[in-house]
Structure 1
C-alpha cells in the first residue's frame, strides 16, 4: 500500500473532497516510524500512517456513511465525524493522528481522498458536508 502512496520525489496527487484544492501525499520516515506527509501549498502536515488501516476498520464497524467534519486543530470537531474520531482518546492511538503540533487537524479533509485513491472507501464530492464509508 505505501508504494502506491508515493515518495517525496514522486508523491501522490490528490484533491480535497469538494475537489476545490490540490495537494500531495507521500510516505516518509521520521524518528524511525513511517508517517504520511501531506503538502498543501507551503503547509506540510504529518499523520501517523496507522490512520489508514485504523480508520478503514472503524468505518467497516460503523457500517454506514460518516460525515467528514474537517476542522483545524484549534477548532472543536463536530461529534460523530471522521475529524472527531481522528483526535479522540477512544481511537486506537488514544488521541491525535496528526503529528505536528499546531497542524494536527484537517484529518477529515486530507486522509479520506487518499483512502478513496487506495480503493478503501467511497467518498462524496459535494461543495460541503461530505461523507465517507468503507468499501
Structure 2
C-alpha cells in the first residue's frame, strides 16, 4: 500500500474533502520509522503510517458512515468523529496519530482523502459535514 503513496520527489496529490484545498502526501522515514508526510502549502505535518490500516479496521467495525470532524490540535474534537478517534487514548496506539507537536490535529481532514485514493474508504465531498466509510 505504501508504494502507492509516493515519495518526497513524487508525492501523491490530494484535495481536502470539500475539494477546496490542494495538498500532497508521501512516505518518508523519521526517527527510524516510516511516517506519512502531509504538505499543505509551506506547512508540513507528520502522521504515523499505521493510521491507514488502523482507521480502515475501525471503520469496518463501525460499519456505517462516520463524521470526519477535522479540528486543529488546540481545539477539541467532536465526539464520535474520525478526528476524535485519531487522538483518542482508545485507538490502537493509545493517542495521537499526528506526530508534530502543535500540528497533530486535522487527522479528519488529511487522512480520509488518502484512504479514498488508496481504495480503502469512500468520502463525501460536501462544503461542510463530510463523512467516510470503509470499502
| 2:123 matches 1:123 | yes
Write the distance in 1 (CA, Å) between the matches of 2:50 and 2:36.
Answer: 9
Partner of 2:44, secondary structure, is strand
| 2:35 matches 1:39 | no
Q: Match of 2:99?
A: 99
1:130 is displaced (CA, Å) by 0.2
Write the distance in 2 (CA, Å) between the matches of 1:88 and 1:94.
Answer: 6
| 1:1-135 correspondence to structure 2 within 5 Å | 1-135=1-135
Write the distance in 2 (CA, Å) between the matches of 1:108 and 1:64.
Answer: 16
Partner of 2:7, secondary structure, is coil
Write the distance in 2 (CA, Å) between the matches of 1:53 and 1:35.
Answer: 13
1:133 is displaced (CA, Å) by 0.2
How many residues are treated as equivalent by the alignment?
Answer: 135
Write the distance in 1 (CA, Å) between the matches of 2:102 and 2:25.
Answer: 19
Q: Please, what is the CA RMSD of the aligned residues?
A: 0.2
Write the distance in 1 (CA, Å) between the matches of 2:105 and 2:31.
Answer: 21
Write the distance in 2 (CA, Å) between the matches of 1:12 and 1:96.
Answer: 23
